[in-house]
Structure 1
Amino acid sequence: MIFLLYQLFDVPPLIVISLDGFQSGYLERGLSPAIYRLQECGTYSKYMLPSYPSKTFPNHYTISTGLFPESHGIIDNYMYDRNVNDPGVSTFVPLKIGQKCF
């Protein structure tokens, strides 16, 4: 399936797999063979220092853009839509039918 995906683009997309809350020592124990296989076939960071604040969304944007949170503007795990003055919803809260997620 990934092979078919690559055919759609002139430049192959970068796919980042983030294991939020996954202790790095688990990879060394060999208890996650599928994740270990991804590590073998791709690239990974043996050591990573989180940006501050050390939350999921700011760090994903930092990894994706190479910018720190003060430059890319994502500083928390919440989204804010200036156009509707609505603070949005955390992705960690179950959504109701018809409710915006961001």
Structure 2
Amino acid sequence: MIPRSTARSRWLVVVAAVTLLHLLDGGAWCKRVRGNDPADETVLIVVSYDAFRTEYLRRGSASYMAELGHNGTWAEYLRNVFPTKTFPNHHSIATGVFPNQHGVMANGLYDHGRGKINYSYDLFHFNEELVPIWVGGKAGQ
């Protein structure tokens, strides 16, 4: 069984992301009337912190997350799916279905070109010309 604090912290991440989205646009994302224009589509951004423990909030290590919790919505827990790995749980949060339906059963992805499971540097660095902003220091570098 998964410790309650781990489950709670994962749910907190989802709730914090929705709360942050609400704070950034004044709640317009939940009031918007959709039309036929693709620009009218609602965008939801989910931020997930893997291995974020509730203890971090209690000891003041993540004051920005605690602030979101105090001024937003709070959930007591999140029930993980099985297997309790990062990729299957993130895909279940994103799709709303269990791993046996979305097919992501582990943290590695099957590479048809190589004929094996790929969980390596190449999986996350497939285009070396794209430099993340946390590496370059500024967007576009």
TM class, shorter-chain normalised?
0.5 to 0.7
Instruction: Check if 1:30 corresponds to 2:39.
Output: no
Checking the alignment, whether the CA contact within 8 Å between 2:85 and 2:106 is kept in structure 1 is yes
- Of residues 83, 86, 93, the one that matches 1:63 is 93
**Matched-pair identity in %:** 36
1:23-44 CA distances to partner (integer Å, 9 max, x unpaired)?
A: 1232233331122234456545
Q: Structure 1: any 5+ residue segments left out of the alignment?
A: none
Cα distance change on mapping 1:71 and 1:41 into 2, 3 Å? farther
State which structure, 1 or 2, has the greater radius of gyration over its C-alpha atoms: 2
Give the equivalent residue in structure 1 for 2:84: 54
1:89 and 2:118 matched: yes
Unpaired segments of 5 or more residues in structure 2?
1-23, 30-37, 127-141
Cα distance 1:86–1:68, how it changes in 2: closer, same or farther (>3 A)?
A: same
TM-score calculated relative to the size of structure 2: 0.51
Cα distance in 2 for partners of 1:36, 1:17 equals 15
Does the CA contact (< 8 Å) of 2:88 and 2:105 recur in 1?
yes
Change (3 A) 1:18 1:100: closer
- What do you get for the CA RMSD once the two structures are aligned? 2.8
* Displacement after TM superposition at 1:16 (Å): 1.6
Higher relative contact order (CA 8 A, sep 6+): 2
2:53 paired with 1:15: no
Work out the CA distance in 2 between the residues paired with 1:44 and 1:20: 18
